[in-house]
Amino acid sequence: MKLAEMTTFEVDRLPRDMVVITPVAALEQHSRHLPVFTDSIIAGAVSEAVEARLPKDVLLLPVQWAGASAHHLGFAGTVTLSVDTHTDVIEQMLRSLLAHGFANHLVLNGHGGTVDTMHMALRRLSEAYPKAHLSAACYWDIAAGAIAGILKGPKKDVGHACEMETSLVMAIRPDLVRQKEIRDDPPRDDDRLKGVYIPLDMKAHTAQGEIGYASHATAATGRKLLDAIVAEVTTTVAALRKGATRGGLNHEGTKTRSRKKKSRRESNEPF
């Protein structure tokens, strides 16, 4: 089910243990060859494909395209929220639906800068709603093994405007890829600092706002990646849906709430 296409009365009849998927992404530079909406295009395509496979199990929100992207502001076209504001945005979006009794949430991330904010938002919410099922994941982490097996270049995971993202946009919106502008911008990792977090400014630490080997990208690779990612995320969402009937959640399983009983809003029962 797509929340944006429903009426309020249709939403109110939904079972409260559906998995609410909130895709979060960004509007930021993606080097010479990809549009600034790249993260949102990919996150939207993945989440919509998952909803299409599990329409009775998923309540899908529109992509939250404003991300935490200050590290990309050296490049024109990047639009960002502050880290604190972005954390608040995620928290308030989920809190709205928690107030209506939807207890099972997955924040599906398509932008590396959002990892910290989505984790912090869920930590805040877990204190207020201890019985709710709150989860968050990057699609590339869920499908890491499959992605590594598909990519052709030397980097076998996500970078930025890299082989993976370029291939995915080639498959989803080929008209937006500037093929003649594709160049590699290899990562500048130092193995001695493995496991160390260092906040990086993309303008200062990359040649053209990319991290990876986009020259290896193809539409065929993108189609394989999209199929694999959607399959893996669908499996994860199906597991979350089954788990929603356990652990003391205060709802009626997969059935619509009885209209004879008080709703959670009416009874003021916390999660």
User: What does the pLDDT look like over 216-231, one tens digit per residue?
Assistant: 999 999 999 999 999 9
CATH topology of domain 8-189+197-240: Rossmann fold (3.40.50)
Each domain of the chain, given as residue ranges in start order, spans: 8-189+197-240
Question: Number of H helices and number of E strands within the chain?
Answer: 10, 4
The model's pLDDT over 19-73, given as tens digits with 9 standing for 90+, comes to 999 999 999 999 999 999 999 999 999 999 999 999 999 999 999 999 999 999 9
CA distance 6 to 117: 28
Q: How far apart are CA 204 and CA 249, in angstroms?
A: 48
pLDDT in tens, 68-117: 999 999 999 999 999 999 999 999 999 999 999 999 999 999 999 999 99
Q: CA–CA separation, 37 vs 260, rounded Å?
A: 46
Q: What is the pLDDT of residue 191?
A: 87
Q: What is the pLDDT of residue 194?
A: 87
User: Residues for the chain: how many in total?
Assistant: 271
How does pLDDT run across 186-198, given as a tens digit for each residue?
A: 988 888 998 898 8
120-172 residue pLDDT tens: 999 999 999 999 999 999 999 999 999 999 999 999 999 999 999 999 999 99
pLDDT of 252 over the 70 cut: no
What is the rounded distance in angstroms from the CA atom of residue 232 to the CA atom of residue 139? Answer: 9
- The model's pTM: 0.89
| Three-state secondary structure call for residue 36 | coil
